[in-house]
């Protein structure tokens, strides 16, 4: 064979190899906040620059990553995707009065968790975060004047200035359920004198300052507080004592390298590395610590508290109890206890165990009593806190308060009916709503999914009651944990709505009937919403084989109508694979259920297909609402190769990893490593497994095994081994 043919064959072979990641990059360089920045249907995943689980969150405000107009740089995002305060934008222009409402037109962005850079018209803008403060550097290369615009992003807010270098601001924010708004305070200082400081008329919601046209580099440092302006100034001076932009950026990068380095992966493609570390970065956006060096303002009693303990806020438990909180229970258990302690403190202050514990107070978002699931999961995995007090809150939510969608307050007649009859009653098509607390415009009753989710949380409460020695409560809540059976129609093998007379609702389309009966999804998803009693569910379906066939049906059926009609009813049901919906949280555990019915090779197949299809390293790399780490935690777990199917237990279901090696550096100095020999896009099927040198025949790990440290070795192949993990 001649040399030309040899080189040709070598070239072809090299192009067939997976492109491996650059070993010179740090983990912080793989994380890309722009991934997922173009929404599939609903909310855009935001570029957010911050330190892990810290108060200051900086966001460029735009419709999506395809939009080159930035409305403002929001100097602070108090609540995930809910509020933005203190809009700021620099300009280079001959006519400063023309930019009061103008966007910043950008190009050539560089975005990292620890640093942001963009070219505007005539100015290069840079940002770096500290814990409760930030620093901005602006380099002007254009002619004309250099005005700096501040404007309010909320209906309540105003700006003032102190001399010609300092700007202060206040901004009220909150949600309708709060009696009063929360207030954010800004203290910003420039490194040079500003001039022509003025408002547009008498409107103090906007303020403009102009830098000396000869000054080519202007730096602004600022602090945020929820206590007062002086505390904002103290936060800034403590964290950023000088106008040293590069020092803040380097410190921020060092912090992110430490956090992201808790999981070290290698032997994957560049794209997989970017997807993985971006997801891991998203998992540290919240909860956030709002203790401001010994003091914090609590929205639950509207008081300033003196404390050296962190006070964590901003959590949407409907989204985060599934995978995000279990991930931090592994990686950051001390922080997890502090977060739980914060929520228990909220209960002590308000008498209500929060569902969505925002910075600005309780928001009765979504459905469920998922604080019980979160805390039971943490307790089962060895974390310790005041469970007796937390139990009071769970019990009260379950038995005395309403758990209707987006409602708070005492039990309604629907909750009373549930307590008496074991299911939420559904309305028949066209039947008018009679309960004023039900949202008739959009959310509606969601009667079936309310029954399934409350069955799960009540099972967790039963485990807690047992641990606390509350024997009667244990029996009560174990009985309630089986209420899901009251909405399972065996002749249809399907979760099905039932009216207040105990009759099945007809007509009913399990594919297309939406929020009247289910939360953001349909019957095909909530058919599997029984994480706490999978064997009981499989039994109702007729056993493991019939349950497996039902799963197969889910992954292969079409939407049954034009997609625009389907999404008109179910706009959250994005990321379809058959009728499986990757873009919404109640689906996350479903691919792993094949492990439980004796077909783990199907879990391995579908996990690879779902990740490689829907979680790509581009603007389109998020199949649904990311929800502040709720969806990203699914990616982190799944790409490592396992998943917590039932939070509240210590079991993890094994899937199929994406890296030759993934090491979890555990807090006590131990490490747990997953090695996948011969892994590739084709070799996604487990042929054999060994845990610490011993043969592993079942597709499950325990939390105890993981936290003890060790090695899980997987031999991968291109064809499914249908015998492995079957029994």
Render pLDDT for 162-185 as a digit per residue (tens, 0 to 9): 999 999 999 999 875 455 579 999
Of 436, 426, 418, 413, which Cα lies nearest the Cα of 517? 426
What pLDDT is recorded for position 144?
86
Q: Are residues 439 and 556 in the same domain?
A: yes
Q: Are residues 183 and 201 in the same domain?
A: yes
Cβ atoms within 10 Å, residue 19: 11
If you count them, how many residues does the chain have?
Answer: 727
Q: Are residues 228 and 321 in the same domain?
A: no
Q: Rounded to 5 degrees, what are φ and ψ at 378?
A: -65, -40
Coil, helix or strand for 499? coil
Q: Are residues 269 and 254 in the same domain?
A: no
22 pLDDT tier (thresholds 50, 70, 90): low
Distances (CA, A) of 495 to 129, 384, 509, 545: 48, 36, 11, 18
Coil, helix or strand for 135? strand
Is 448 within 8 Å of 537 (Cβ atoms)? no
**Of 260, 285, 317, which marks where a domain is finished?**
260
23 pLDDT tier (thresholds 50, 70, 90): low
Residues 6+ apart with CB under 8 A from 23: 266
Does 409 map to a domain?
yes
Is the model's pLDDT at 13 over the cut of 90? no
Q: Ranked by mean pLDDT, which of 13-27, 178-192, 690-704 comes out on top?
A: 690-704
Render pLDDT for 616-666 as a digit per residue (tens, 0 to 9): 999 999 999 999 999 999 999 999 999 999 999 999 999 999 999 999 999
Distances (CA, A) of 519 to 221, 296, 356, 367, 571: 44, 35, 16, 8, 11
Is 235 within 8 Å of 132 (Cβ atoms)? yes
68 pLDDT tier (thresholds 50, 70, 90): very high
Q: Are residues 230 and 175 in the same domain?
A: yes
Alpha helices in 351-412 (DSSP H): 370-380, 387-399
Is 54 within 8 Å of 132 (Cβ atoms)? yes
Q: Are residues 199 and 290 in the same domain?
A: no
Does 9 map to a domain?
no
What pLDDT is recorded for position 35?
98
Does 2 map to a domain?
no
What pLDDT is recorded for position 176?
59
For 469, half-sphere exposure in the C-beta direction (CA atoms, 13 angstrom radius) is 0
Is 173 within 8 Å of 184 (Cβ atoms)? yes
Is the model's pLDDT at 9 over the cut of 70? no
Residues 6+ apart with CB under 8 A from 258: none
Render pLDDT for 276-300 as a digit per residue (tens, 0 to 9): 999 999 999 999 999 999 999 999 9
Domain span at residue 495 reads: 265-717
Q: Are residues 99 and 114 in the same domain?
A: yes
Of 231, 285, 225, 239, which Cα lies nearest the Cα of 260? 285
Number of domains in the chain: 2
Q: Are residues 249 and 278 in the same domain?
A: no
Does 123 map to a domain?
yes
Does 10 map to a domain?
no
Q: Are residues 221 and 324 in the same domain?
A: no
Mean pLDDT for the chain overall? 95
Q: Are residues 578 and 701 in the same domain?
A: yes
Q: What does DSSP say about strands 671-677 and 710-717: parallel, antiparallel, or unpaired?
A: parallel
Q: What does DSSP say about strands 182-190 and 194-198: parallel, antiparallel, or unpaired?
A: unpaired
Render pLDDT for 523-558 as a digit per residue (tens, 0 to 9): 999 999 999 999 999 999 999 999 999 999 999 999
Q: What is the pTM of this model?
A: 0.96
Residue 147 sits in a domain of what CATH number? Answer: 2.70.98.10
Is the model's pLDDT at 146 over the cut of 80? yes
Render pLDDT for 198-222 as a digit per residue (tens, 0 to 9): 999 989 999 999 998 888 999 999 9
Coil, helix or strand for 408? coil
Residue 435 sits in a domain of what CATH number? Answer: 1.20.1610.10
Is the model's pLDDT at 419 over the cut of 80? yes
User: How many whole angstroms separate alpha carbon 720 and alpha carbon 604?
Assistant: 9
What pLDDT is recorded for position 4?
46
Of 150, 152, 153, 158, which Cα lies nearest the Cα of 188? 150
Render pLDDT for 589-598 as a digit per residue (tens, 0 to 9): 999 999 999 9
User: How many whole angstroms separate alpha carbon 251 and alpha carbon 129?
Assistant: 9
**Of 235, 260, 285, which marks where a domain is finished?**
260
Q: Rounded to 5 degrees, what are φ and ψ at 401?
A: -115, 165
**Of 216, 240, 260, which marks where a domain is finished?**
260
Q: Are residues 447 and 488 in the same domain?
A: yes
Does 19 map to a domain?
no
User: How many whole angstroms separate alpha carbon 478 and alpha carbon 493?
Assistant: 23
* Lowest-confidence segment of 10-14, 347-351, 528-532 by average pLDDT: 10-14
Q: What proportion of the chain, given as a percentage, has pLDDT over 90?
A: 92
Is 639 within 8 Å of 275 (Cβ atoms)? yes
Q: Are residues 424 and 471 in the same domain?
A: yes
Alpha helices in 593-662 (DSSP H): 600-614, 632-640
Is 372 within 8 Å of 457 (Cβ atoms)? yes
């Amino acid at each position: 064979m001649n040399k030309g043919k040899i080189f040709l064959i070598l070239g072809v072979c090299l192009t067939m190899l997976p492109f491996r990641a650059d070993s010179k990059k740090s983990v912080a360089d793989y994380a890309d906040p722009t991934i997922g920045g173009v929404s599939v249907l609903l909310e855009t995943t935001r570029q957010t620059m911050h330190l892990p689980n810290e108060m200051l969150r900086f966001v460029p405000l735009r419709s999506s990553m395809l939009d080159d107009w930035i409305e403002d740089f929001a100097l602070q995002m108090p609540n995930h995707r809910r509020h933005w305060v203190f809009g700021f934008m620099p300009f280079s222009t001959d006519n400063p009065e023309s930019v009061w409402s103008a966007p910043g037109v950008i190009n050539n962005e560089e975005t990292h968790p620890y640093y942001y850079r963009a070219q505007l018209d005539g100015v290069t803008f840079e940002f770096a975060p500290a814990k409760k403060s930030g620093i901005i550097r602006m380099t002007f290369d254009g002619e004309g004047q250099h005005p700096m615009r501040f404007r309010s992003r909320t209906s309540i807010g105003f700006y003032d200035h102190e001399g010609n270098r300092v700007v202060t601001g206040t901004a009220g924010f909150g949600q309708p359920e709060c009696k009063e708004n929360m207030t954010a305070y800004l203290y910003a200082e420039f490194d040079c004198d500003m001039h022509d400081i003025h408002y547009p008329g008498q409107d103090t919601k906007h303020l403009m300052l102009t830098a000396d046209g000869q000054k080519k580099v202007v730096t602004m440092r600022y602090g945020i507080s929820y206590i007062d302006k002086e505390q904002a100034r103290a936060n800034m001076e403590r964290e950023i004592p000088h106008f040293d932009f590069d020092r803040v950026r380097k410190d921020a990068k060092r912090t992110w390298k430490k956090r992201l380095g808790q999981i070290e992966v290698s032997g994957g493609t560049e794209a997989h590395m970017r997807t993985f570390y971006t997801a891991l970065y998203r998992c540290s956006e919240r909860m956030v610590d709002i203790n401001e060096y010994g003091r914090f303002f609590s929205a639950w009693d509207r008081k300033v508290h003196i404390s050296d303990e962190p006070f964590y806020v901003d959590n949407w438990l409907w989204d985060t109890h599934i995978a995000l909180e279990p991930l931090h229970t592994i990686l950051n258990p001390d922080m997890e206890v502090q977060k739980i302690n914060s929520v228990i403190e909220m209960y002590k202050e308000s008498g209500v165990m929060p569902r969505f514990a925002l910075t600005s107070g309780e928001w009765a978002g979504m459905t469920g009593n998922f604080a019980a699931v979160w805390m039971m999961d943490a307790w089962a995995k060895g974390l310790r806190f005041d469970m007796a007090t937390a139990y009071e809150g769970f019990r009260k939510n379950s038995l005395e308060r309403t758990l209707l969608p987006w409602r708070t307050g005492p039990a309604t007649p629907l909750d009373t009916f549930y307590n008496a009859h074991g299911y939420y009653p559904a309305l028949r098509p066209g039947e008018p709503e009679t309960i004023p607390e039900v949202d008739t415009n959009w959310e509606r009753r969601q009667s079936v999914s309310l029954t399934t989710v409350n069955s799960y949380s009540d099972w967790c409460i039963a485990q807690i009651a047992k641990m606390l020695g509350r024997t009667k409560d244990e029996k009560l809540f174990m009985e309630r944990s089986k209420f899901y059976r009251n909405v399972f129609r065996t002749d249809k093998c399907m979760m099905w709505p039932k009216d207040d007379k105990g009759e099945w609702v007809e007509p009913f389309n399990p594919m297309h009937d939406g929020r009247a009966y289910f939360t953001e999804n349909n019957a095909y998803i909530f058919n599997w919403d029984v994480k706490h009693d999978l064997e009981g569910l499989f039994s109702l379906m007729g056993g493991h084989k019939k349950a497996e066939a039902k799963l197969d049906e889910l992954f292969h059926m079409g939407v049954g109508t034009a997609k625009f009609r389907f999404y008109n009813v179910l706009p959250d049901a994005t990321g379809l694979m058959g009728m499986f919906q990757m873009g919404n949280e109640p689906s996350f555990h479903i691919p792993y259920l094949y492990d439980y019915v004796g077909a783990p090779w199907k879990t391995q197949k579908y996990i690879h297909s779902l990740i490689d299809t829907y979680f790509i390293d581009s603007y389109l790399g998020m199949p649904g609402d990311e929800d502040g780490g709720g969806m990203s935690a699914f990616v982190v777990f799944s790409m490592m190769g396992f998943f917590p199917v039932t939070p509240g237990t210590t079991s993890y279901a094994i899937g199929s990893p994406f890296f030759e090696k993934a090491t979890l550096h555990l807090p006590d100095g131990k490490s747990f490593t997953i090695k996948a020999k011969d892994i590739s896009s084709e070799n996604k099927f487990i042929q054999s497994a060994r845990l610490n040198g011993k043969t592993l025949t079942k597709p499950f790990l325990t939390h105890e095994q993981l936290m003890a440290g060790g090695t899980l070795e997987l031999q991968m192949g291109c064809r499914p081994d249908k015998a492995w993990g079957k029994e």
